[in-house]
Structures are given as structure tokens and as C-alpha cells.
Structure 1
Amino acid sequence: LSSSTIVHFTAVMGIRQQSLAFHSAHNSTSELAGLIWIGRLLFLEYALPVYSYSTLVYEWPRRDHYPSQPDRLDAIRKKYLIRGCYTPFGEIIELKAFAKSIVKREGIPGNLSWDPDGKSFIIGHDIKFKLSEFCATHCKAIKLVGE
């Protein structure tokens, strides 16, 4: 299970490029949700293909070949797409559920945080605001109000 390529890809998606630290649970759930959504679409095509695939080693019939399309889809869903199943996709679903439980426990993070240098703070994810600039802006605002 842990040797799956998609599981390794998911693990690499969780690492911030700049700091080589893991993304917070709040930031990783949307990426995992997108990956799960695409995976479900691929499994839908696997279970009920729009066209037959005759170029493969074994011919893959199109969706109208199956006597009951809902039964075919349900069989694939139960085998691969349910939380707790022992597949790489099931592991990704569990990872998203775990991240979601952390977000519920910790709450939504604020948009304002101190930069590691201690002399500035970050708004959102990318706007760095130095404390000296903040003081200068504050002094300028007081002068404008005084005039």
C-alpha cells in the first residue's frame, strides 16, 4: 500500500517547497479533495467506459455492455472508493479525513502570523509586512488626521 506511486505523489504534495516542512492540515485538505475528485472521475471511466478500448491487451467493453450499470459502479465503488478500504485511494481518503478532523479540532487559522525573523508579520500566505513600515504608516496616518 505505501509503495504505491499515487501515495508517494500525495506525500510530496504535502511538502512546502520553500521550507521543506509539511503543509498545515487546513491547507492540504483542498488539494486532497481535488485529487480525490479526479480519482473518482478516473474510476468512473474504469467502471463504465464511454467507449470500448480495443487497443489494450484485453478488450475493455463500453458501458452498455454491462447488464446493470449501477451494479457495476457499486461493485467498483465498494472495492476501491470507500473510506477504510485497503487501496491507495482509500489511504488518500483516510488522509483527508484525518486532516479534516485536525481542522475541526484546531479551527480555521488566522490570516495574520509572525514571520520567523520576528521583525515582520505575514498576511495570508504571501504578503510580508515589516513592523517598521507599519509604524511609518501609523505615524503618517496620525499626521494626516492632525492636519
Structure 2
Amino acid sequence: MTVIERIDQDLKEAMKAKSEQRLSVLRMARTSLKNKQIEMQKDLDDQSAFAVLKTMIKQYQDAISDFQTAGRQDLVEKQQQEIDILSAYLPPAMPVEEVEKIVKEAVAGMQASDMGKAMGAAMKAVDGKADGNTVRAIVQRLLSE
């Protein structure tokens, strides 16, 4: 079952359960996925769907930092719940040790000393299975050694 099919199925279950917040988040996710599908003019594979969901999560995280600055704890909690709902559809994150091993191999393989080139190689190597901030921290540490 693809991610889009899982979201559609959970959308129906949320309607039946009258879970307003879950229903709202899944509708937004479905709309974003549909818009991306129209933009690409082809069906989305799971990797493309994951990219759309990660973009949505990033937007929610940005909103959380804005709400914290404004002192709106109620909205921070709401956004965090929405992130939790969307995160359930993403593959589990790769352990930091495994990310570090892959990044070391990628950076050593190309003898990169420039941050940009090293990040490019590292991000290709982890193939979206790790958070960019985690990869950046590892690359910075490796380059400073």
C-alpha cells in the first residue's frame, strides 16, 4: 500500500471517527500531494510523497518557532500534534551512527574539503533517510577534523 493510499484510507477513518484535527491535517496532506501530482503530471511514487510530507512538516516547524516567539503556546501544541500526525506516514529515521558511517564514506570517497560539495555528496548518500540538519552537523564535524 502506497503512502497516498494509506492517507486516503486514514482520511475515511477520520471522517467516520469525527476526528476534526486529524481529518483537517490529512485533507491538507492529500491536497498538497494532489497539487504536486498535477505539477509533475504523473502519479507520485512514495519518495515524492515523502518529500511533500517533509516539506509540510518543515512548514509546521517554522510556524512553531514563530508561535513560540509570539508566546502562543496553544498554537505551538496544535502544530506539534499536526507534525505528529504527518510523521506517522514517513519512514523511520536512520540512526545517527548509520548516518555518520554513510556520510564518512561519501565525504572520504570524493576527498571533499568544501562544505557545499561535501553536503551534496552526503545528502545523495543518505537519500532523504536522514534529517538535513543532522547530516550538516556530521559533515561540519568531519571537515573540522
Q: TM-score range by the shorter chain?
A: 0.3 to 0.5
* More helix by percentage: 2
Per the normalisation by structure 2, the TM-score is 0.36
Per the normalisation by structure 1, the TM-score is 0.36
* More strand by percentage: 1
Structure with higher Rg: it is 1
